């Protein structure tokens, strides 16, 4: 199985400030078709997970522009340019190059 490792596991951010979450995979997520199968999800408290970013850097429908994804190979980053109160929750990276696996999650809270 591909192991996904997120850092940090928790993050406390002042509203309006940026935040960054790292996700590293145990092997490259680049497929032979040229796509990289890395996704980001947010699970707000008490809610269902929601897709934020697919294939490393494409925002899903309705996701605010303050969310961006980047990276390649085995190293990926989710950035929030200016954190808002509604961004509180647990963020997960997920790979689907092989049978899907999730990172442990990064809990984001507001200072």
Q: Beta 89-95 vs 4-7: how paired, if at all?
A: unpaired
Spatial distance between the Cα atoms of 31 and 23, rounded to a whole number of angstroms: 18
Query: Considering the complex, what minimum distance in angstroms separates the CB of residue 15 from another protein?
Result: 26
> Which residue, 34, 31, 37, 38, is CA-closest to 6?
38
Which residue of 24, 49, 68, 77 would you call a contact of another protein, by CB under 8 A? 49
Among 20, 22, 57, 104, binds another protein (CB under 8 A): 104
Question: What stretches of 1-111 show up as alpha helix (H) in DSSP?
Answer: none
Among 16, 48, 65, 85, binds another protein (CB under 8 A): 48
CB-nearer residue toward another protein: 16 or 99: 99
Q: Which is nearer to another protein, 49 or 68 (CB)?
A: 49
């Amino acid at each position: 199985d591909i192991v996904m490792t997120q850092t940090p596991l928790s993050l406390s951010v002042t509203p309006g400030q940026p935040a960054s979450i790292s996700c590293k995979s145990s092997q490259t997520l680049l497929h032979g078709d040229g796509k990289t199968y890395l996704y980001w999800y947010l699970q707000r408290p008490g809610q269902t997970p929601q897709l934020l970013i697919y294939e490393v850097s494409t925002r899903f429908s309705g996701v605010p522009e303050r969310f961006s994804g980047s990276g390649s190979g085995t190293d990926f980053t989710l950035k929030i340019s200016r954190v808002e109160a509604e961004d509180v929750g647990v963020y997960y990276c997920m790979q689907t190059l092989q049978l899907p696996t999730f990172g442990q999650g990064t809990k984001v809270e507001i200072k």
